[in-house]
Amino acid sequence: MAVRIINADMRDALASIPDESVDCIQTDPPYGETALRWDQRVPGWPALVRRVLKPTGSMWVFGSFRMFMETASEFVGWRNSHEIVWEKHNGTGLFNDRFRRVHEMAAHFYRDDAPWGGVYKQPQFTNDARARVVRKKGRPAHWIGATGETIYRSEEGGPRLMRSVIYARSEHGSAEHPTQKPLTIVEPLLLYACPPGGTVLDPFAGSGTTGLLANRHGMNAILIEGDETFTPVIRARLDGDAPLLASIEGAA
């Protein structure tokens, strides 16, 4: 398994990645909500990454609702399947004339020329089900106690589908990057979308959270980061996390 780190503008770096070669895309683009150097939106990026995604693949994108609304026209060629909400322990203090924002979103997309049924997806579970009889259209893979075609009994403490609102403390105060995402938020998204041994692309890698998790789960990762100050951070995080397992190629 390898993590490839490319220090370049993603628009240039993508040219070296073959068509339909990655299994999934997991990314956290600049939201464009501040004047900070690394927070400038990159017009056209969703169309560029679509080319390198296999038809069976899909893409998770972190963002704010405002970012998705303002850039919706850039997601031509993509279909949205659903989204998750990351509930944080603290707020982002950008405005004092609105509700205090204590959440961010990640939206899931797949190619509009690919049938949803053929898209790789591995639903995630948490072991906190309550014992009860439930009616479902389909039988979740890990549930037991089927009593008929559509009625099942869940076990106390057994698995249930992971909920779309996920709480995690932000990395504020301990992060290597100002917008570093918690591992516990990114991990279920990656496991949902990337098959075992597959390749994930993160074209806005920041401190390399996607690569760290890919490495832990035996996936390959291509990390593109435009700011040269963050590529050593990515390497240090990978080395420090799993030095015997990491195989790091790429940028100086």
Ligand X SMILES: C[S@@+](CC[C@H](N)C(=O)[O-])C[C@H]1O[C@@H](n2cnc3c(N)ncnc32)[C@H](O)[C@@H]1O
Would you tell me which residues interact with ligand X (CB under 6 A)? 9-10, 28, 30, 38, 42, 177, 179-181, 204, 206-207, 209, 224-227, 230
Shortest distance, position 206 Cβ to ligand X, whole Å: 2
Our CB check for ligand X shows the closer of 188 and 206 to be 206
- Whether residue 13 contacts residue 27, with contact meaning beta carbons closer than 8 Å, is answered with no
Structure tokens at 250: 């790429």
Structure tokens at 6: 């490319």
- Whether residue 93 contacts residue 87, with contact meaning beta carbons closer than 8 Å, is answered with no
Structure tokens at 85: 């909400």
Amino acid at 138: G
Amino acid at 201: L
Shortest distance, position 181 Cβ to ligand X, whole Å: 4
Shortest distance, position 70 Cβ to ligand X, whole Å: 16
Our CB check for ligand X shows the closer of 47 and 144 to be 47
Our CB check for ligand X shows the closer of 45 and 75 to be 45
φ, ψ (nearest 5 deg) of residue 55: -60, -25
Report which residue's Cβ sits closest to ligand X: 206
Distance CA 73, CA 209 (A): 28
Shortest distance, position 248 Cβ to ligand X, whole Å: 16
Our CB check for ligand X shows the closer of 64 and 124 to be 64
Structure tokens at 90: 């603290």
Shortest distance, position 191 Cβ to ligand X, whole Å: 17
Our CB check for ligand X shows the closer of 30 and 159 to be 30
Shortest distance, position 220 Cβ to ligand X, whole Å: 18
Q: Where are the alpha helices (DSSP H) in the chain?
A: 10-13, 45-50, 65-70, 183-193, 209-216, 231-241
Q: How many CA atoms lie within 13 A of 120 on its CB side?
A: 23
Our CB check for ligand X shows the closer of 22 and 129 to be 22
Distance CA 26, CA 42 (A): 16
